[in-house]
Amino acid sequence: MKLISCTLLCLLLAFGIPVASAERESPAIESIQADFTQEKHLKILQKPLISTGTFIFAAPDSLRWEYRTPIPSVLLMHDGTIQKYIQQNGKFVADRGMRLDSMQVILTEIGNWLDGRFSGNDMFTASFPSKNTVLLEPKDPALAGLISRIELKLAEQRGLLDSVTITEGPQSSTTMTFTNRVLNQDIPASAFIAE
Amino acid sequence: MRFFLQSRLKHIFGLIVLATLLAGCAARDQHPPSLTYSQALPQKCDGIFPEGTWQFVHSINFAGGRDNTTTVIGVTTLAENSIHSALLTVEGLTLFAADFLPDDSLNIQRAVPPFDNPHFAEGMMRDIRTIFQPPGGVSQQGRTAAGNPVCRYTDGHDMVTDILPKRHDDNDDCWRIRRYTPKATMNLAITGTSCKVQANLFIPQHIELQSFGMAEYTLKMKLLSADRLQ
């Protein structure tokens, strides 16, 4: 379960990457906000499973990843702690099934992701098949058993991502598409703290 | 005053724990009710189980012990006599995917720890089959002493499954399923509530499954979608 947690957080952070283009300098990122639509494709699914939500990131390492549909949930990272809450019976309760105690290791990757530095990443090998595509493949065989690759599609606008596709295996993938992206607005710390 | 309140809270907490344990014991020790058998019942029990090809997507809250609760998304596709099932995190990561075949064998395509435990797959198959497929074995129809209709199935291992369709005086419960071991103690209790009719099928918007015995856990399922497939 630790490996799952590490993977999820790494992916979540990757979704918020502001990327100019591979390995070039990007503008300083203080905060990012965006809406996302998530499509899950799976062999047994007759139609993709659609989820929607928003995310907020504030440098250096605060994150709010919130699903609105189909299951309202919030994942919060702030001041070195990680918490996840899921709505049950109209209330948000702590989700204790996913162990997140190993997340501190992932936080060391944040600076690299935000600066668009993919090479030299301890967890993934990066390649650049086209000018607007970054391909990440896991280095750890155990992680590779969960995720075969991550594909990032860079937006035309310097510093933003259009989509992220996580491929688990044949006929199994998750694609997130980002809209209404806003950079560098002031974000109160309360956005990353459970109420 | 503060000491008094703390003492009272501890006392109340202890009573709650005791009541919970007693309730659990009571449910565990429940035996199949005595029935008066009849030839036909006003409500068919078969209307509870899907016919044809269906796909259901549920949010599933799993509570397996103290402070151990998590929510996942469950996808179940019923096709002919096979069941295809997957469990996903809210973030879309596939935790478990398998086919449950008519001969009770399993074809596991993906199982992320701790879902790679073989007992987990077997238990999941049991639970899904109980919810979505009519029990096997000899069937009888009858009524309890209170007059409630029951469809009772007894298999070759003396495992008893009671299907309790919605009672005429029941405002919400749409159906219940109770399974009893050969020793006549309940090991599985499933309650469907807030049923909606779709393609002549009573589909609960909420399902609660309680497992007793060696593995005790509770699943609370909320329907996200139900589609009849061609």
Note the pLDDT tens digit of each residue in A97-132: 655 433 334 444 544 554 566 666 778 888 999 988
Q: What are phi and psi of A69, to 5 degrees?
A: -135, 155
Exposed/middle/buried for residue B223 (C-beta within 10 Å: 0-12, 13-18, 19+): middle
Would you say domain B2-228 falls under CATH 2.40.160?
Answer: no
Contacting A residues, span 110-129, partner chain B, CB-CB under 8 Å: none
DSSP letter for A66, please: E
Q: Is the ipTM of this complex over 0.85?
A: no
- At B47 the pLDDT is 80
For residue A192, being part of any structural domain is answered with: no
For residue A194, being part of any structural domain is answered with: no
What is the reported pTM? 0.83
A8-17, A52-61, B71-80: which is most confident: B71-80
For residue A179, being part of any structural domain is answered with: yes
Domain boundaries, chain B: 2-228
Site from A8, A83, A172 to mutate, B interface, most B CB atoms within 10 angstroms: A172
- At B186 the pLDDT is 94
Q: What percent of chain A has pLDDT over 70?
A: 72
Question: How many domains is chain A built from?
Answer: 1
Note the pLDDT tens digit of each residue in A156-173: 776 677 888 989 998 999
Structural domain range at position A151: 2-184
For residue A80, being part of any structural domain is answered with: yes
Q: What are phi and psi of B123, to 5 degrees?
A: -65, -40
For residue A167, being part of any structural domain is answered with: yes
- At B124 the pLDDT is 93
By the CB < 8 Å criterion, does A191 face chain B? no
Note the pLDDT tens digit of each residue in A129-152: 998 898 989 898 888 888 899 898
For residue A195, being part of any structural domain is answered with: no
For residue A64, being part of any structural domain is answered with: yes
- At A23 the pLDDT is 46
Mean of the per-residue pLDDT values of chain A: 77
Note the maximum CA span of chain A: 47
Helix H, strand E, coil C: the string for B78-131 is EECCEEEEEEECCCCCEEEEEEECCCCCEEEEEECCCCCCHHHHHHHHHHHHHH
DSSP letter for A97, please: S
- At A28 the pLDDT is 72
Distance from CA of B224 to the nearest CA of A (A): 7
Q: What is the CATH number of the domain that holds A136?
A: 2.50.20.10
